[in-house]
């Protein structure tokens, strides 16, 4: 709705760019440092690093799975507040994660990316991330099933079955 102010794109075209600096202002520090850092880390390697970090981030849910599985094991099979808390966490976090996938990967977007928050940036990592979250969800569902909370049997749907009235009446 509101227009974003793209100062960087405005600046080169600014007519104030060629004005002499005010007295006592040294330009050297800032220009030097940018030059140095650019020299130390070229943007391509920086992007590579980012990509690697993004991959790390993508498989993070899978890494925490063993710990969660242990917690599930410890919480037992009964339907109690503790086990329910863990199960809810397991069931909710994948959805939360996937909903916020673009924001989560924005910091890792390569400098070349036009829009760091677009779905198309870092597609491979995002796919891995989704897969890992689905894995977490699967563990949560498996736990639900073992607790008997998944409505898989006909018995779970029995209450919704309806019957009409009998076509014949007999009186006793």
Partner 1 sequence: MFLLLFALLLCSSLSLAIHESDVGVIDWHKKLVGVPHATRVTHVQANGITQSVILVPTASNVLAALNTTDGSVVWRYVFDAADGIASFHVAGDAVVALSGQGASMLRSFEPLTGFITLETRLAAPLSSVPIGVDVTSEPNTSAMFVLNTHTIARIGEVQWTWEAEDKGMRFSKLVHTSTAVYAVGLSQQAAALYLVAIHPITGIQIEIGWKHLPPAVSSFMVVGDAAIWVDPATQSLGFVHLTPALKASIRTEKTLKWQELVDVYLQDFGVLVGVLANGEARVLQARDGGVVESVHTFPANDGEKSLFAGGLDKDGAPYIVRLWTTVSNTTAAEIYTPAHGVVKTIFPLDSYKYGTVTHLAVDGPRLVITTSTGAVQLWEQDQLLWGREEALASIDVAAFVELPLPERVARVVEGESFITRLTRQIVEAKDFPEYAAAFAQRFFTGAPLRDEVVVSAHDHTASLGRDAFGFRQVLVVATAYGSVFGLDSASGAVLWTRVLGLGWAGVGVGGTVKPVKIFVVDGEEESKDVVLITQRRANNKLVDTVLFRIDPLTGGSVYPAEEDTNRLLEGTDVISGPLTEAFLIPDSSAIMLIDEFFQINSYPDTEANTAFISRLASKVYLPFMETFPEGPRMVGHSLKLDPELSDKHVAFRTWGLSLSPDETVKSIVKPRVGPVASLGKVLGNRTTLYKYLNPRMFVVLTQGPDTPRAGCGIYVVDAAKGSVLYSALVPFPSTRVCDVHATFAENWLVYHYYDGEGVGAGEAKGWRMVTVELYEGGLDEKTQSSDMSSFGVDSMHVEALEQSYVFAHGITAITTTSTKFGITSKDIIVATQNNKIHAIPRRMLNPRRPKNRKPTVEEQQEEQLIPYDVFIPDDPRRTISHNYEVANTRNIITAPALLESTSLVFAYGLDLFLTRVAPSNTFDILNKNFNKAQLVLTVFGLGLGIVIAKPMVRRKRLRERWYQ
Which C-beta is closer to partner 1: that of 17 or that of 163?
163
CB of 141 to partner 1, least distance (A): 15
Residues 18-77 within binding reach of partner 1 (CB under 8 A): none
CB of 160 to partner 1, least distance (A): 10
Q: Binding to partner 1 by residue 153, rule CB under 8 A?
A: yes
Q: Binding to partner 1 by residue 152, rule CB under 8 A?
A: yes
Q: Which of 64, 45, 53 is nearest to 105 (CA)?
A: 53
Q: Which of 43, 47, 67 is nearest to 55 (CA)?
A: 47
How many angstroms separate the CA atoms of 70 and 73, rounded? Answer: 5
Contacts 24+ apart (CB under 8 A), 128-131: 128/55, 128/58, 128/59, 129/57, 129/58, 129/59, 129/61, 129/97, 129/98, 129/101, 129/104, 129/105, 130/98, 130/101
Pick the stretch among 32-40, 54-62, 122-130, 164-172 that binds partner 1 (CB under 8 A).
Answer: 164-172
Which C-beta is closer to partner 1: that of 89 or that of 149?
149
Q: Binding to partner 1 by residue 148, rule CB under 8 A?
A: yes
Size of the site for partner 1 (CB under 8 A): 19
Which C-beta is closer to partner 1: that of 62 or that of 149?
149
How many angstroms separate the CA atoms of 160 and 142, rounded? Answer: 25
Rule CB under 8 A: which residues touch partner 1?
Answer: 148, 152-156, 158-159, 161, 163-172
């Amino acid at each position: 709705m509101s227009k974003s102010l793209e100062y960087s794109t405005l600046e080169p075209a600014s007519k104030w760019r060629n004005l002499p600096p005010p007295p006592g202002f040294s330009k050297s520090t800032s220009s030097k440092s940018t030059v140095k850092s650019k020299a130390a880390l070229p943007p391509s390697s920086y992007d590579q690093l980012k990509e690697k970090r993004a991959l790390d981030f993508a498989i993070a849910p899978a890494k925490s799975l063993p710990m969660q599985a242990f917690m599930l094991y410890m919480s037992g099979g009964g339907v109690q507040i503790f086990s329910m808390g863990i199960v809810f966490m397991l069931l909710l976090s994948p959805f939360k994660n996937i909903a916020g996938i673009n924001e989560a990967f924005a910091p890792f977007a390569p400098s070349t990316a036009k829009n760091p928050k677009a779905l198309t940036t870092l597609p491979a990592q995002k796919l891995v991330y989704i897969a890992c979250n689905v894995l977490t969800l699967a563990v949560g569902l498996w736990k639900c099933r073992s607790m008997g909370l998944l409505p898989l049997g006909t018995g779970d749907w029995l209450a919704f079955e309806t019957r009409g009235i009998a076509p014949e009446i007999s009186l006793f």
